[in-house]
Chains A and B, each alone.
Chain A
Amino acid sequence: MPQPLHSVLEYIRSSQPWNSIFRHGIPRDRRTRVMAIMSNVFLHLHPVAVRKSGIRLSFTWCMGGLTFFLFLAETISGVLLMFYYRPVPEYAYSDIIGLRAHVTLGLLREIHRWGAHAMIIAIWLHMMRVFLTGSYKPPREFNWGVGVILLVITMLLSFTGYLLPWDQLAIWAITVGSNMGKATPFLGMGGPFSDVLQLPGGVPLVTTRSDAAYLLLAGTSVGENALMRFYVLHCIALPLAAATLIAVHFWRVRKDGGISGPL
Chain B
Amino acid sequence: MLASLLSLASDAGPSPISHPAIDAFKNFVNAVSVPEISLPLFTIGFVLMMVGYRWWTKPSVATLLLLLFCLFYFGSMLIDPNYRLIIKKPDNVPITMMLLSVGLCLWVAFRQAALNDQRIEKGLPLPDADKDDKVLVWPDLVYTELICLVLATALLVLWSVLLRAPLESPANPAGPPNPSKAPWYFLGLQEMLVYFDPWMAGVILPGLIITGLIATPYIDTNPKGNGYYTVKQRPFALSVWLFGFLILWVVLIVFGTFLRGPNWNFFGPYEYWDPYLQVPLTNINLSDYFWVFALGKPLPASPILREIVGIIFVSAWVLVLPPVLAHTVMRRLYQSMGAVRFYVMAFHLVIMALLPLKMVLRWVFTLKYFVYLPEFNLNL
Residues of A within 8 A of B (CB): 27, 30, 33-34, 36-37, 43, 46-53, 55-59, 61-63, 65-66, 69-70, 73, 89, 93, 96-97, 100, 107, 109-115, 117-118, 120-121, 124-125, 128-129, 131-138, 140-141, 144-145, 148, 151-152, 155, 158-159, 162, 165-173, 175-177, 179-185, 188, 190-194, 221-223, 260-263
- List of A residues within 8 angstroms of B204 by Cβ: 185
User: In the bound complex, what is the Cα–Cα distance between A97 and B167 (angstroms)?
Assistant: 9
Are A192 and B135 in touch, CB under 8 angstroms?
Answer: no
CB distance B218 to A192 under 8 Å?
Answer: no
For the complex, what is the distance from the CA of A95 to the CA of B325, rounded to whole Å? 58
In the complex, how many angstroms separate the beta carbon of A67 from the nearest chain B beta carbon?
10
Cα A115 to Cα B164 with chains together (Å): 13
- The reply to whether B134 and A49 form a contact with Cβ atoms under 8 Å apart is yes
Closest to B189 in A: A180
CA gap between A133 and B189 in the complex, in Å: 27
Residue B128, interface by CB 8 Å? yes
CB of B185 within 8 A of CB of A120, answer yes
Contacts of B203 in A (CB 8 A): 180-181, 183-185, 188, 191
Question: Can you list, as one digit per residue, whether each of B80-106 has a CB less than 8 Å from chain A (1) or not (0)?
Answer: 000000000001001001100110011
B168-A169 in contact (CB<8A): yes
Q: Is the CB of A49 within 8 A of B128?
A: no
Kindly list chain B residues whose C-beta atoms are within 8 Å of the C-beta of A73.
153, 156
Q: Are A46 and B102 interface neighbours, CB within 8 A?
A: no
**Distance of A198 from chain B, by nearest CB (Å):** 15
Interface-facing stretch out of B69-77, B144-152, B270-278, B295-303:
B144-152
Asked if residues B228 and A133 are in contact (CB atoms below 8 Å), the reply is: yes
Are B164's CB and A172's CB within 8 A? no
Instruction: Indicate with 1 or 0, residue by residue over B151-178, a CB within 8 angstroms of chain A CB atoms.
Output: 0110011011101111111111101110
- The answer for the CA separation of A253 and B313 in the assembled complex, in Å, is 45
30 A-B contacts (beta carbon < 8 Å): A27-B139, A30-B136, A33-B137, A33-B139, A46-B137, A48-B136, A51-B134, A61-B105, A62-B144, A117-B97, A133-B227, A133-B229, A159-B186, A167-B168, A168-B168, A168-B170, A168-B172, A169-B91, A169-B177, A172-B180, A180-B202, A183-B199, A190-B198, A191-B198, A192-B376, A192-B377, A192-B378, A261-B128, A262-B129, A263-B227
Residue B109 at the chain A interface, CB threshold 8 Å: yes
Q: How far is the CA of A94 from the CA of B347 in the complex (A)?
A: 49
Q: How far, in angstroms, from A183 to B177 measured CA to CA in the complex?
A: 22
- Decide: A69 and B148 in contact? CB cutoff 8 A: yes
Measured between C-beta atoms, what is the minimum distance from B223 to chain A in Å? 7
Question: Given contacts A46-B141, A158-B185, are A129 and B149 in contact (CB under 8 A)?
Answer: no
Given contacts A145-B217, A159-B183, contact A27 B156 (CB under 8 A): no
B23 at the interface (CB under 8 A from A): no
**Contact (Cβ within 8 A) A115 B156:** yes
Report the separation of the CA atoms of residues A167 and B220 in the bound assembly, to the nearest whole angstrom.
45
Task: Indicate the member of A113, A145, A165, A167 with the most B CB atoms within 10 Å.
Answer: A113
- B contact set with A: CB distance below 8 Å: 91, 94, 97-98, 101-102, 105-106, 108-109, 112-113, 125-129, 131, 133-142, 144-145, 148-149, 152-153, 156-157, 159-161, 163-173, 175-177, 180-183, 185-186, 189-190, 197-199, 201-204, 210, 213-214, 216-218, 220, 222-230, 234, 238, 241, 245, 376-378
16 further A-B contacts with Cβ under 8 Å, apart from A70-B156, A261-B129, are: A36-B138, A46-B141, A50-B137, A55-B140, A62-B148, A111-B156, A114-B165, A165-B167, A169-B167, A177-B183, A179-B198, A180-B189, A191-B377, A261-B228, A262-B128, A263-B227
CB-nearest residue of chain B relative to A46?
A: B137
With both chains docked as a complex, state the minimum distance between the C-beta of A187 and any C-beta of chain B, in angstroms. Answer: 9
A183 to B217, CA, bound (A): 30
- Which residue of A46, A51, A148, A166 contacts B131 across the interface (Cβ within 8 Å)? A51
Assembly CA distance A222 to B168 (angstroms): 17
Closest to A259 in B: B227
Check A114–B160 contact: CB distance below 8 A.
yes
A145 closest partner in B (C-beta): B214
Q: Are A58 and B112 in contact, CB atoms less than 8 angstroms apart?
A: yes
Q: CB-nearest residue of chain A relative to B108?
A: A58
- CB pair B135–A50 under 8 Å, yes or no, is yes
Q: What chain A residues lie within 8 Å of B156 (beta carbons)?
A: 70, 73, 111, 114-115, 118
Query: Are the CB atoms of A135 and B227 closer together than 8 Å?
Result: yes
**In the complex the two chains form, is B228's CB within 8 Å of A162's CB?**
no
